[in-house]
Every structure is written in structure tokens, then in C-alpha cells.
Amino acid sequence: MAHRRGWWRGFVLLAATAVALVAAPCDRAAEERDGDDGPAALTGLVVEVTDGDTVVVELADGSRERIRYIGIDTPESTPDQPLECFGDEAAEANRRLVEDRQVQLRLGPERRDDYGRLLAFVRVDGLLVNAELIRGGFARVLTIAPNDELASRFELLEAAAGRAGRGLWGACNT
């Protein structure tokens, strides 16, 4: 009886494919899982929504911190800045997502911006708010190293929102 050469290659390929499928994310929540349990994770209550990408959070120790969302930029809507197209809508979307809710904050490698705000990925009930604002067309991608680990994912969401004309992409001359 003749032995078939290379029969094991098919087996190895099949096993590698199975491992890849098991390890691949299968839903949006899994896709956006980004290590929130790391040493730079905090939780708190959102006590104020400043605009589309900034909130004030009361932390567990009772202190309050201004939080700037990593990786996104929303149109301006604060009184000290000129109102930009879709600024009010972005602030309202952020308010609907996080106001008076417990959030989980994962700080970036660069912890604070030039204004003293903590820089964070923000989750509420497992939903990555930064990504949700981009997905809905309420924010543009703003990538600033070293806080750039989700930049490629955010760029894909922005491209999809733009193609669909969602939010500011359909309402403003961008």
C-alpha cells in the first residue's frame, strides 16, 4: 500500500482555520473589547456632559475629573466656542449615552491633555462610547499618539458613517 505524502498539511490547515475562527470576534461587543481590566481602569458616575467628547465624572473616592474621550473629536457646542455644525446634536447624543450613568474609564498611555483632562476610552454597560459616537456620525476620528491603539477601528467606523451620510456627514459641509 502506497503512503500519501503531505496528508498532514490539510489537517494542519484545518486546525489553524478552526483556531482562527474560535479566536475571531463574533459581535460588536467582542470586537471592541480593549482591555478595560488593566491597571489604568477607573469607574465613576457621569455628573455633567460638557459637550460631545467631554464629561465630568465623580470617581469612587468622591473626586471629580474632567474626561476627554480618546480618538474622537466632536463639533464644538460649548458656550465659550463658536457653535459648529452638528455640535448640539453630538452633545445630545453623548448625553443620551452617558448622563447620570456609571461608566468605566480606561486611560490611555498619555493620561492627560494640555487642559488637564483625563484621556480615556469610555464604556457604559459594555458599549464603547467613543466608537458609538463615530458610528452614529456624531464624531470624527482624532488620532494622537501614543493614545492611538483603536485608530484603525475608529477609521473604519468613520468611513462607514460617511458613506451612509449619517450625522454630521449628511448635515454639514465636511
* Residues annotated as catalytic (active site), given as ranges: 68, 76, 117
- Closest CA relative to residue 119, chosen from 60, 32, 30, 40: 40
Point out which residues pair with 107 in neighbouring strands. 120
**DSSP output for 29-75:** HHHT---TTSTTEEEEEEEEEEETTEEEEEETTS-EEEEEETTEE--
Contact predicate 169/161, CB 8 Å:
yes
Q: In the chain, what is the straight-line distance between the N-terminal and C-terminal CA atoms, in Å?
A: 71
